[in-house]
Amino acid sequence: MPAIWPRLLERLASGDPVVGVDERRRWGRREFEHAIGMGIFRETEPATCILCDACPERHWAEVHVAGVSRRRFYACPEEGTQHVDAERLRQWRIDAGRVAELTAGALGISTTIEVLLLQHLWRLGRRRLGGRYRDIFLGVGGGPPLAEMSAAIRRSIGQGSALLLSVGCDGNPAEIPTGHQVVDFMAISRLEGVQVIVDLEYLEDRCTEGTPPARPTLPSIPAPAGATWRDVSVTVFEGFLRITIGGKEQEVEFAELGVDWQSQTIQLLKLFAAARGTLDAAKIGDLGAGDTGARMRVRRLRRVLQEVVEVDGDPIENHRRSKVYACQFEIRLAGDEGHRTLAGVTWLDLAFHERSDGRIAVAAPERRHFRARGAQNHRGESTGEVAEECRTATRTYCLEEMGLRTQAGRLSSEGAAFVGLLRAGGRLPRRSNDLVVLRLAQQLREWTGLEGEPLHLVEASRSWTAVFACSSEVKTS
Ligand SMILES: [Zn+2]
């Protein structure tokens, strides 16, 4: 994934757009050549200072040019006169105007670009976004603050609505007038080969906010007062979602969400479901989105979820330190039904609990991968020392999913035995050759993937006891 784009944008925003041979090497020679080919870098005057590499001091020295020979040299206090290869002094300037042109091109705008504030603000042109025409601007930091850019925009277009793509502009976005929207350009753009790509889908979304949606209102699912995302469970089917909040179940088709089943948002949702709710940021990047793309996609999915489920708070938390996105609700793929248990886990490690809403909470040890803290590079980023921890995770299932109740809502004989077992704290007064008990044991083995007997016969009391912990919130008469 070309990393040169965010770096050169950062350099632009820092107000120091001249880069040397060292940067060319660090940023990748090939990408650098691409960028030169695109006109982003233009060769400029050679450097007049150089970092000495003749002595261990790493000091800066001024470069002199010898009269006739035009040879270049500098003086090192330790090692004396040092000649410098002209190649080492080459420098390139990032052409911010060219970045503006390429951005306009990526937005499909072909009208002439207008400079509003020299080296810092360009009017790229107009295009339709979020259902209406807007003027789009590119602002580069290291100069006037946002408020001043906003004033220049107003002078240029009057009261119209404007979208400012900001490359590290200083200032509080809250202070700029309504009608002017600021979007972090680094987060929505990237370089692919010799093309600048702008995430138009995201811009459309951003510009649609606040304006009434063109699609019919979402079938938002009401939640009981005080419900949080932890009370929500989502099962992802091929064309729809089944969402359960506080025992109430509702199905929503992707089309109703206003997203296509092939869209990135749904792909991401499925990825989360397959991973049971926790995804490495890098894995999302692997979808072809890169780091910034990952953030953007999660943001979009978050919005879809918040629109459809009437629960406050963040459904997908970004754990920056461990570079992991974690769904705050339960999510899984339909068909991924069995409860996955770890190797080495036995029936003794499991606990089944009947909730008052009739669903079964299953607590089991689960392995979690996380990046060890402390392993960081000089930029404070985690370098990805992967560690493992074992902890108890609780997942909730309905009896249908466990194969203990029919879709019509009738408990099977095994289901009735199972519920009886939980309510009696793990005792089941049945005979040794009771077929229902034997079938229940078989079903539990298959569902958990665990070997060994989940139920033991206690000859003396002529009853069965569960090896796993049993409890219930349901009062028995
Ligand atoms: Zn030196």
pLDDT digits (tens, 9 = 90+) for 372-407: 444 444 554 444 444 556 677 788 888 888 889 877
Domain membership flag for residue 155:
yes
In this prediction, residues 365-377 reach a mean pLDDT of: 52
Kindly state whether residues 202 and 149 are assigned to the same domain.
Answer: yes
The pLDDT assigned to 14 comes to 85
Q: Identify the H or E element spanning 472.
A: strand 469-472
* Cα-to-centroid distance, 62 and ligand 1 (Å): 11
From ligand 1's centre to the CA of 22, what distance in Å?
18
Round to whole Å and give the CA distance between 394 and 72: 70
Strands 162-167 and 132-140: parallel
Express each pLDDT in 166-179 by its tens digit.
998 888 777 778 78
Give every CB contact of residue 284 below 8 A, 6+ residues apart in sequence.
268, 271, 293, 294, 297, 298, 325
Query: Are residues 79 and 131 in contact, defined by beta-carbon separation less than 8 angstroms?
Result: no
Residue 254 is assigned to a structural domain of this protein: yes
Question: Both 356 and 391 in a single domain?
Answer: yes
Q: In terms of domains, do 370 and 317 share one?
A: no
Report CA(379)–ligand 1 centroid distance (Å): 28
**362 and 265 housed in the same domain:** no
- Residue that is written with structure tokens 């004033």 in the block: 151
Sort 475 into a burial class: Cβ within 10 Å, 0-12 / 13-18 / 19+. Answer: exposed
**pLDDT (0 to 100) of residue 106:** 94
| Whether residue 269 sits in one domain with residue 192 | no
Structural domain that includes position 404: 347-472
Ligand 1 centroid–CA 424 distance in Å is 83
Look at residues 333, 355, 374 and tell me which one is the last residue of a structural domain.
Answer: 333
Both 108 and 190 in a single domain? yes
Q: Are residues 105 and 58 in the same domain?
A: no
**Separation of 50 CA from ligand 1 center, angstroms?**
10
81 CA to middle of ligand 1, Å?
9
Q: How far is the CA of 82 from the centre of ligand 1 (A)?
A: 9
Check if the beta carbon of residue 267 is closer than 8 Å to that of residue 300: no
CA of 175 to the centre of ligand 1 (A): 50
129, 163 Cβ separation under 8 angstroms: yes
For residue 76, the CA-to-ligand 1 centroid distance in Å is 4
One domain, residues 88 and 101: no
- Structural domain count of the chain: 4
Average pLDDT across the chain, whole number? 83
Whether residue 233 is found in the same domain as residue 137: no
One domain for residues 111 and 131: yes
Residue 80 pLDDT: 92
| Residues 9, 168 contacting (CB under 8 angstroms) | yes
Residues in the chain: 477
Of 271, 306, 333, which one is at a domain's C-terminal end? 333
CA of 85 to the centre of ligand 1 (A): 16
Q: How far, in Å, are 50, 194, 275, 374 from residue 88 at the CA level?
A: 9, 26, 49, 37
Distance 75 CA to ligand 1 centre (A): 7
pLDDT class of 356 with cuts at 50, 70, 90: confident
> pLDDT grade, residue 129 (50/70/90)?
confident
Query: What is the 79 CA–ligand 1 centroid distance (Å)?
Result: 6
Other C-beta atoms lying within 10 Å of the C-beta of residue 128: 11
pLDDT at 133: 85
Q: For residue 434, give every residue at least 6 positions away whose Cβ sits within 8 Å of its Cβ, in sequence order, or none.
A: 464
Rounded to the nearest whole angstrom, what is the distance from the C-alpha of residue 53 to the centroid of ligand 1? Answer: 6
Specify whether the CB–CB gap between 197 and 190 falls below 8 A: yes
- Given 78, 94, 110, the domain boundary residue is 94
With respect to residue 276, please indicate whether it lies within any of the assigned structural domains.
yes
Instruction: Report the CATH number at residue 263.
Output: 1.10.10
Is 342 a residue whose pLDDT tops 70? no
Residue 380 lies in a domain: yes
> What's the DSSP call for residue 67?
T
Please tell me whether residues 77 and 113 are part of one structural domain.
Answer: no
Ligand 1 center to 80 CA (angstroms): 8
Q: Which residues have CB under 8 Å from 32's CB, separation 6+? A: 4, 24, 41
Q: Which residue would you say has higher pLDDT here, 318 or 121?
A: 121
In a domain, 215, yes or no: no
DSSP codes of every residue in 154-196: HHHHTTS-EEEEEES--S-GGGSPTTEEEEEHHHHEEEETTEE
Q: In what order do the strands lie in the sheet with 72-76?
A: 64-65, 72-76, 80-84
Question: Does any domain span residue 338?
Answer: no
Determine if the pTM surpasses 0.75. no
**121-129 β-sheet, strand order:** 114-117, 121-129, 132-140, 162-167, 180-184
Range in 3-12, 109-118, 386-395, 432-441 the model is least confident about: 386-395
Does residue 89 register a pLDDT over 90? yes
What is the 65 CA–ligand 1 centroid distance (Å)?
18
User: Higher pLDDT residue, 221 or 330?
Assistant: 330
Distance 49 CA to ligand 1 centre (A): 12
Side chain identity at residue 67, one-letter code = G
Exposure string for 164-173, b = 16+ CB within 10 A, e = fewer: bbbbbbbbee
- Ligand 1 centroid–CA 56 distance in Å is 7
Token pair 């992991």 is found at 324
Let me know if residue 216 belongs to a domain. Answer: no
Higher pLDDT: 457 or 321? It is 457
Do residue 312 and residue 386 come from a single domain?
no
Q: Using the mean position of ligand 1's atoms as its centre, give its distance from the Cα of residue 64 in Å.
A: 15
Is 14 inside any structural domain? yes
Longest CA–CA separation in the chain, Å: 110
Neighbours of 192 (CB within 10 A): 12
pLDDT given for residue 121 in this prediction:
96
